[in-house]
Structure 1
Amino acid sequence: MREVVITDIQYRMTMTAIWSLGRKGIPITAVAFEKTKPYERLGFFSKYVTQQEIIPGPEQSKQAFINQLAAIGSRILERTGECPVLIVPRTQTHECIVQYSELIKPYFEYHLVCHENLERANNTFLLSEVAGDVNVPFPETTWLKENETIQSLANRLTYPVVVKYRFAERLTLKPEQRYRIIDNANDFVAAYSNMHAIQSSPLVQRYVTGSGFGVSCVFDASHEPTAIFCHKRLREYPVSGGPSTLCESIWDDRMVRYAVDLLKALNWRGFAMVEFKGEIGGDVYLMEINPRFWGSMMLSLQAGCDMPFAYYKSVQRLSTAHQGQISFGNRYQLGVRMQFILQDFLATVCNIRKRPMGLLSYFSHLLSPSTKDGLLSFSDPRPGIKYIMNAFLHRQ
């Protein structure tokens, strides 16, 4: 059985791949970066990790990262006679590997979208153009025109608006720091000026109301989906628009069609999560593409849509051919809910004025056997326990 190498194991979403593949007996090498602290290396605490490696990260030295990652693959290839499957959860690591693919490809099997299309997915303005080409609804968008002042831009807007960085994934910011929701011109001038200084010419979008949805996909080398999963955000933290703290598995044909059309237009390979906002049966709009692992990824595994294994099989060219219309909706359980207990409690408390019965809802989900926890596992408890300990002992 071909081995697996997983990078960026400090993120909780990497546990989805570790649990998916480890439970099938697939040997896993977990790669941490030197600048991460020992308690942050979440994957190292899993019983399913068979080998631990610590190397320089791409931010520290791209060349050192590539050289040492290649050395890991070379050792596995020499020992097993097969190139291991490489899983890359984070955009910055993805970008580095694509940039140096000629040095990595001899030692690994993987699906990663090319640099050009990764740029188009990460750049909000370029993404809006792709969305227009395939008729995927996108919020009305504008930006600071040539020779225009920020004040004049503020005066021509209809509020509320959302200001977004064009290349948010390139910034070392938390998700909630990558945009601002603004209600008036005075606040807009201050906020836009600050964001413009960090990354030039942020985009301004009409604020879209409604629920948040995600269509998650794995695409193979032929740019065809091998796994598709949909979820709805029920709560998030920060409440202004952070990662899901409570979410539910759903299926929506229209959003699936939008996501697949969009990713095919980008000649996608590997993992992606396409975010929408709006209402089922009403208007929905594309928000962004996460060209990486996403925060609620564990829900797909818990609902029976094994995305890491779908990727593993597609890399080994074992995926089945697709015929006719995509019909993934009956391949996993609908209505499964997942909760991150600490973050969901904070989300509930923040919303307590708007929803006085929120605490009752929180505890009903916490105690419900139909709601899964996002990280606590009886079969492999150490990563979840360590994550909770870190939240209390290493708060920044």
Structure 2
Amino acid sequence: MKTAVVTDGKYRASLAAVRALGEAGFSVVVTQTRQEAVHTPASFVSKFTKEGRWMEGSCRDADYGERLTALLQAYDRPVLFPTGADTLRWISAHREELAGTADFLVASPQALADLNDKETVHQRCLALGLPVPQEYDGPPDRYPVVVKPRCGEQFGLKSWERYTIAEGQAAYQRAYETMSQYGGVPIVQEKVSGPGEGVNLLLDQNSRLVCAFCHRRLREYPVTGGPSTCCVSFYDEKMIDQAYRLLASFGFVGMAMVEFKGGKILEVNPRVWGSFPMTACCGAPFVANYARAAQGEVLEYTPRNFREGVKMRYLFHDGAATLGYLRQGDLRRAWGGVVDFFTVPEALKRKGDQKAYRRYLRNSLKGRLG
């Protein structure tokens, strides 16, 4: 039986990947560095996990790559599924060295750097004729505007810390000064209205599209602009084409989410994204296709090979979002959260894998309380 190694087992995406790889017939090994995890990850106790491997230290240690390579070499050319951003960056920087040890789909360091840079993405969209928000080179002549650093991720900023909405000149000046701390001149753009939408793509070693689906944010936490707590799957051929043209222009390889709002491209997450468990909820063959393409199989892209209109939510975070919308007076979204509490199962709840689900809930509760 072929082995698959999933890294950074503490993430929700890792549990979703473990289950999908197990169902695809792989013997699944999950890794986790001790410094980044206080509790045993839910993915370690999943029925689809053959072995959970703790790694000493941190994934930011200088010798982390050596330890990861040694672990991979203990198996016969496994499929490598990197979940954490630090692990992804290390693999990207050592793609040629690892090519003889494991099978994986990871973009070059330059492609990752370019796609993490919001201004580079913005300029490439303009060159390709793709829709983007209006950008201001100096003080804006109309408000509200969004002020953000070019690459907040490299400074360890949380998603809701990576931008500020300024409703007027005074707020703009404060936001500009704050964001100037993170990598020089900030980006200033018009505030686009509409729901946040993600186009999720998988590209093979030759940057060919092999899997895609879309999701729309219904609620988020913090409600002022945090990660998605509840979203719904949908299909939009035009958005998928636009997202693919953008990624392919950088020679991208692997998994990414292109974020849209109001039909305009805002940024790219060139890695596993926060709502990744939606791949399993809506039946998109993302993980299985990743493994097949990583091993060199040439796959044909099949549009609409997932269920549309499927909702996914995270129990605790969506509950907090619902309360947040209620406090804001947004009764429509708050009521939607109440209804979904009774009708939409938690994203990682899985019949037959209750032990992993209970561990996930326990860890989530400990994290919120401690």
Pairwise TM-score range, normalised by the shorter structure = over 0.9
Contact 1:29 1:53 in 2 (8 A): yes
Please list, as runs of the form range in 1=range in 2, the aligned pairs for 1:55-134 lying within 5 A after superposition.
Answer: 55=55, 56-61=57-62, 64-77=63-76, 83-134=77-128
The match for 1:20 is: 20
Aligned counterpart in structure 2 of residue 343 of structure 1, from 296, 317, 320: 317
Contact 2:211 2:289 in 1 (8 A): yes
Deviations along 1:194-252, whole A, 9 cap, x unmatched? 22124322211111010111110111112111110111111111112222111111011
Shift of 1:42: 3.4
Deviations along 1:338-389, whole A, 9 cap, x unmatched? 1112111111111124333545432322222xx3421222321233323332
Distance 2:181 2:333 in 1: 39
1:305 equivalent to 2:279? Answer no
Distance change (3 Å), C-alpha of 1:314 and 1:102: closer
Shift of 1:124: 0.5
Contact 1:122 1:167 in 2 (8 A): yes
Output the amino acid matched with 2:103: E
Distance change (3 Å), C-alpha of 1:349 and 1:88: same
Output the amino acid matched with 1:378: K
Distance change (3 Å), C-alpha of 1:128 and 1:359: closer
Shift of 1:137: 0.7
Distance change (3 Å), C-alpha of 1:40 and 1:243: farther
Contact 2:24 2:288 in 1 (8 A): no
User: Which has the larger displacement, 10-19 or 371-380?
Assistant: 371-380
Contact 1:349 1:359 in 2 (8 A): yes
Distance 1:167 1:357 in 2: 34
Runs of 4+ in 1 over 4 A off after TM superposition: none
1:286 equivalent to 2:265? Answer yes
The match for 1:380 is: 353
The match for 2:49 is: 49
Distance 1:366 1:319 in 2: 41
Deviations along 1:153-197, whole A, 9 cap, x unmatched? 54x442111111211221222211111111122122222212212
Deviations along 1:259-307, whole A, 9 cap, x unmatched? 11111111121101111001xxxxx100111111112121222211120
- TM-score normalised by structure 2 residue count: 0.93
Aligned counterpart in structure 2 of residue 270 of structure 1, from 246, 254, 261: 254
Indicate the SS of the match to 1:215.
strand
Distance 2:159 2:45 in 1: 26
The match for 1:281 is: none
Which consecutive unaligned segments of at least 5 residues does structure 1 have? 78-82, 144-152, 279-283
Distance 1:47 1:86 in 2: 19
1:188 equivalent to 2:172? Answer yes
Q: What is the number of residues matched between the two proteins?
A: 367
Distance change (3 Å), C-alpha of 1:129 and 1:311: same
The match for 1:256 is: 240
The match for 1:208 is: 192
Indicate the SS of the match to 2:17.
helix
1:355 equivalent to 2:330? Answer yes
Counting aligned pairs with the same residue, the percent is 28
Distance 1:265 1:198 in 2: 27
Output the amino acid matched with 1:70: T
Contact 1:236 1:244 in 2 (8 A): yes
Indicate the SS of the match to 1:200.
coil
Distance 1:98 1:357 in 2: 43
Distance change (3 Å), C-alpha of 1:357 and 1:138: closer
Which consecutive unaligned segments of at least 5 residues does structure 2 have? none
Indicate the SS of the match to 1:247.
strand
Distance change (3 Å), C-alpha of 1:128 and 1:313: same
Indicate the SS of the match to 1:229.
strand
The match for 1:6 is: 6
CA RMSD, Structure 1 to Structure 2 (Å): 1.9
The match for 1:148 is: none
Aligned counterpart in structure 2 of residue 332 of structure 1, from 306, 324, 331: 306
Output the amino acid matched with 2:339: S
